[in-house]
């Protein structure tokens, strides 16, 4: 459920629905503040010293069109992400590349097909909290990573 909340941080109603099913922790409280800041540009999004929260905060900054803050937050996240977390490192590097210059290489055809199928509403991969499965979250995480690596493949 926590991973579903992280995946939906840019969609406050959806994220808050997942957070309601989780215990109150410092991370869930931060995610609640972060998702609420999506629609409140005056609310700060300073992440705790957690590399995944830096990735999410950088996405919120980018969503709010604060490119320099997004880059800075992603760079800090990359610096504190251990090498034993290659997927988070890859997501941060792809986000930085997209923010800095974009990625030029087109996606392979099988990736384009998957992205075309789900691009309209990636959140459709995540059902309501009472029906969510590990596979739902894994598919949404894969889609998130593919969208970071090939953001314009279906444009």
42 in any annotated domain:
yes
Reported pTM: 0.80
154 in any annotated domain:
no
Mention every residue, 6+ apart, whose C-beta is less than 8 A from residue 137: 3, 4, 7, 126
What's the pLDDT at 107?
66
155 in any annotated domain:
no
Per-run averaged pLDDT (10 residues), the chain, 155 residues: 91 93 95 92 86 93 90 94 87 87 64 67 73 78 77 56
Domain that holds residue 138: 2-149
Q: Where is 74: in which H helix or E strand?
A: helix 67-80
| C-alpha 147: how far from chain center | 10
């Amino acid at each position: 459920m926590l991973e579903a909340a992280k995946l939906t941080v840019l969609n406050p109603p959806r994220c808050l629905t997942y957070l309601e099913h989780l215990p109150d922790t410092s991370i869930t409280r931060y995610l609640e503040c972060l998702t609420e800041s999506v629609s409140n540009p005056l609310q700060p999004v300073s992440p705790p010293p957690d590399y995944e929260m830096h990735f999410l905060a950088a996405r919120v900054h980018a969503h709010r069109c604060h490119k320099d803050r997004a880059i800075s937050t992603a760079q800090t996240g990359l610096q504190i992400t251990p090498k034993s977390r290659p997927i988070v490192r890859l997501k941060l590097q792809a986000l930085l590349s997209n923010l800095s210059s974009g990625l030029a290489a087109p996606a392979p055809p099988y990736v384009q097909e998957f992205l075309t199928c789900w691009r309209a509403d990636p959140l459709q991969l995540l059902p309501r909290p009472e029906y969510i499965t590990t596979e739902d979250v894994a598919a949404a995480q894969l889609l998130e990573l593919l969208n970071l690596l090939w953001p314009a493949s279906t444009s």
